[in-house]
C-alpha cells in the first residue's frame, strides 16, 4: 500500500524543503516534493508529520553498544538491546563494532547477529566494523609495541581466518598503518571489498600517505588516540590528525557529542573536510541511553567503575573519558546547536556520507526516489519523534 507522508519539512542533502511531502511504495521512496504538487493516490495511507522535519534514517558506522547491550559480547540479546536503543534515537542502520581477536570470536559475533533474525523493529545490520586488534595507542611506545603484543604485527594467517569466519559480514576494518604487516593487511582486505580505516595510530603524515596507496580510505574518530604534530631533530612533521584534515579523499569520522570534540574542533573539521567526507559517529558504549550515575562496565574482561555525567562516561578519577554515550539525534543536535551548522548539513554527515562510504549511495541515507524509506521525524529541538523502517513506523 502506498504511504503519503505530508505536512513536513523534508531534509534534503543540500537544503530544507518546507511544505514537503513524500510517497512510499513497497518500502521505497517513489515521489517527493512540495505537498501541493503531490500526485493523488487513491487509498494511500496518510501519515501526518505534524509539521516536523522528515529526514533519512541515521547510519551510525561506529558503535559498541547501547541500552545496556554491548557489541563486545557476542550474544544476540546484547546486540538487540543496543540496536533498539539506537533506533529510538533515529538510527535505522548500524555497523556494530566489536573488537575481535580470533576467528572463533568472529564466528560468535556472526552467530549473535544472526540470532537477532525474526526480532522486529531493529535497525538494519549493514555489516561489522572491526576496531582493531592492530592498534598503536601509546605515543611513547609507538612501534616498540611490536615486541610486546602479538597484535602489534598484522599476521595474514590470523586476519584471513577472521575474514573466513565472518562469511562476508565485515564491511570496514581499522588498523594502525605504521605497524608491521598492516599495509599488506590493507591491500588484502581492500581486494575483498572491505574498507581499510586508519585509527588508534601514531603514524606520521608520510605514513598516512603510504597507507592511502595501500587502500586505506578512512580515518576513525578524529583527534582520539592518534598522532598530531611531533618534532624530530627539531623538524616538525604532521600526524594522522593533519592528514585527515588536509588530504581530500579520506572519509573521516568525528564523535560529535560535544565532549570528545568541543564545538571548535567540530567546526575545524567541517571547515577542512567539508560536507562530503565527514561522518558523525557515536562510538557509543553499552551505557548509552542510561541516566547520570555510577555504573560498572566490563572492559576487556575487567569490571570497571564508570561515572556518567556531563553527557559522557568517565573513569572513576574523572581524568579520562571511558567512551561515548551519544546516539543519532544527539550528534545532529550537537553539530547544529553547538557548532552552528545547518540541519541539512548535520543530517547529511550522518546519512548520505556514511551511505556513500559504505557503497550504498542512492539506496540508503538520502531522500531520493528509489531509496529505502528508512525515515526519522525530528521536532524543532532535533529530538526523534518517530522512526520508520522501509516505510513502516517502528517508533
- Smaller CB separation from Zn ion, 131 or 207: 131
Candidate segments 40-48, 128-136, 264-272, 290-298, binder of Zn ion by CB under 5 A: 128-136
Residues of this chain, 316-375, that bind Zn ion according to CB under 5 A: none
| DSSP designation for 35 | G
Distance from C-alpha of 233 to C-alpha of 320, rounded to nearest angstrom: 31
Distances (CA, A) of 195 to 115, 151, 374: 25, 20, 24
Distance from C-alpha of 313 to C-alpha of 327, rounded to nearest angstrom: 13
- Smaller CB separation from Zn ion, 55 or 85: 85
- Smaller CB separation from Zn ion, 257 or 283: 283
Using alpha carbons only, give the angle 114, 119, 124 rounded to the nearest 5 degrees: 65
Q: How far is the CB of 131 from Zn ion (least distance, A)?
A: 5
Q: How far is the CB of 59 from Zn ion (least distance, A)?
A: 16
Q: Are 59 and 93 in contact (CB under 8 A)?
A: yes
Candidate segments 41-49, 125-133, 146-154, 156-164, binder of Zn ion by CB under 5 A: 125-133
3-state secondary structure string across 45-112 = EEEECCCCEEEECEEEEEECEECCEECCCCCHHHHHHHHHHHHHCCEEEEEECCCCCCHHHHHHHHHH
Q: How far is the CB of 97 from Zn ion (least distance, A)?
A: 6
DSSP output for 129-182: EEE-SS----TTTGGGGGGT-TTSS--HHHHHHHHHHHTT-EEEEEE-TTSTTH
- Smaller CB separation from Zn ion, 207 or 283: 283
Which residue sits closest to Zn ion, CB atoms considered?
A: 283
Cite the DSSP H helix spans in 349-390: 352-357
Q: How far is the CB of 60 from Zn ion (least distance, A)?
A: 11
Q: Does 257 bind Zn ion (CB under 5 A)?
A: no
Contact residues for 40 (Cβ-Cβ < 8 A; gap 6+):
none
Q: How far is the CB of 282 from Zn ion (least distance, A)?
A: 9
Q: How far is the CB of 190 from Zn ion (least distance, A)?
A: 21
Q: How far is the CB of 70 from Zn ion (least distance, A)?
A: 12
Q: Are 187 and 225 in contact (CB under 8 A)?
A: no
- Smaller CB separation from Zn ion, 283 or 366: 283
Using alpha carbons only, give the angle 72, 357, 105 rounded to the nearest 5 degrees: 20
- Smaller CB separation from Zn ion, 283 or 329: 283
- End-to-end, the C-alpha distance of the chain in Å comes to 20
Which x/- pattern, by CB under 5 A, does the window 74-113 give for Zn ion?
----------------------------------------
Q: How many residues bind Zn ion (CB under 5 A)?
A: 2
- Smaller CB separation from Zn ion, 79 or 344: 79
- Smaller CB separation from Zn ion, 178 or 283: 283
Candidate segments 171-179, 281-289, 331-339, 368-376, binder of Zn ion by CB under 5 A: 281-289
Using alpha carbons only, give the angle 82, 91, 258 rounded to the nearest 5 degrees: 90
Cis (ω within 30 of 0) for the bond into 133?
A: yes
Q: Does 253 bind Zn ion (CB under 5 A)?
A: no
Distance of CA 248 to the CA centre of its chain: 20
Q: How far is the CB of 153 from Zn ion (least distance, A)?
A: 22
| Residue among 207, 283, 366, 372 that touches Zn ion (CB under 5 A) | 283
- Smaller CB separation from Zn ion, 131 or 329: 131
Candidate segments 21-29, 71-79, 131-139, 209-217, binder of Zn ion by CB under 5 A: 131-139
Q: How far is the CB of 392 from Zn ion (least distance, A)?
A: 30
Note the residues at the interface with Zn ion (CB under 5 A). Answer: 131, 283
Amino acid at each position: 500500500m502506498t504511504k503519503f507522508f505530508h505536512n513536513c519539512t523534508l531534509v534534503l542533502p543540500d537544503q530544507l524543503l518546507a511544505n514537503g511531502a513524500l510517497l512510499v511504495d513497497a518500502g521505497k521512496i517513489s515521489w517527493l516534493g512540495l505537498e501541493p504538487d503531490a500526485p493523488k493516490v487513491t487509498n494511500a495511507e496518510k501519515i501526518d508529520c505534524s509539521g516536523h522535519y522528515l529526514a533519512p534514517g541515521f547510519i551510525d558506522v561506529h558503535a559498541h553498544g547501547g541500552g545496556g547491550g554491548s557489541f563486545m559480547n557476542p550474544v544476540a540479546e546484547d546486540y538487540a538491546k543496543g540496536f533498539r536503543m539506537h533506533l529510538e534515537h533515529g538510527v535505522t542502520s548500524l555497523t556494530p563494532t566489536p573488537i575481535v581477536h580470533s576467528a572463533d570470536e568472529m564466528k560468535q559475533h556472526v552467530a549473535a547477529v544472526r540470532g537477532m533474525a525474526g526480532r522486529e523493529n531493529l535497525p538494519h545490520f549493514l555489516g561489522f566494523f572491526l576496531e582493531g586488534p592492530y592498534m598503536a595507542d601509546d605515543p611513547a611506545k609507538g612501534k616498540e609495541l611490536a615486541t610486546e603484543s602479538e597484535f602489534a604485527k598484522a599476521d595474514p594467517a590470523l586476519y584471513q581466518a577472521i575474514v573466513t569466519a565472518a562469511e562476508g559480514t565485515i564491511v570496514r576494518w581499522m588498523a594502525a598503518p605504521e605497524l608491521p604487516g598492516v599495509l599488506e593487511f590493507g591491500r588484502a582486505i581492500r581486494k575483498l571489498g572491505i574498507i581499510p580505516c586508519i585509527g588508534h595510530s601514531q603514524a606520521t603524515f608520510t605514513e598516512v600517505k603510504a597507507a592511502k596507496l595501500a587502500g586505506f580510505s578512512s580515518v576513525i574518530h578524529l583527534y582520539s588516540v592518534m598522532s598530531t604534530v611531533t618534532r624530530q631533530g627539531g623538524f616538525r612533521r604532521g600526524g594522522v590528525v593533519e592528514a585527515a584534515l588536509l588530504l581530500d579523499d579520506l572519509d573521516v569520522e568525528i564523535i560529535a557529542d560535544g565532549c570528545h570534540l568541543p564545538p571548535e574542533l567540530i567546526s575545524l573539521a567541517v571547515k577542512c573536510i567539508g560536507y562530503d567526507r565527514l561522518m558523525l559517529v557515536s562510538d557509543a558504549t553499552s551505557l548509552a541511553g542510561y541516566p547520570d550515575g555510577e555504573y560498572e562496565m566490563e572492559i576487556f574482561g575487567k569490571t570497571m567503575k564508570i561515572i556518567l555525567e556531563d553527557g559522557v562516561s568517565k573513569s572513576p578519577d574523572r581524568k579520562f573519558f571511558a567512551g561515548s554515550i551519544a546516539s543519532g539525534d544527539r550528534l545532529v543536535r550537537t553539530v547544529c546547536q553547538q557548532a552552528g551548522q545547518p540541519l541539512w548539513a548535520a543530517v547529511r554527515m550522518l546519512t548520505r556520507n556514511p551511505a556513500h562510504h559504505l557503497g550504498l549511495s542512492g539506496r540508503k541515507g538520502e531522500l531520493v526516489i528509489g531509496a529505502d524509506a528508512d525515515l526519522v521525524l525530528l521536532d524543532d529541538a532535533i529530538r526523534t519523534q518517530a522512526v520508520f523502517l522501509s516505510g513502516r513506523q517502528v517508533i
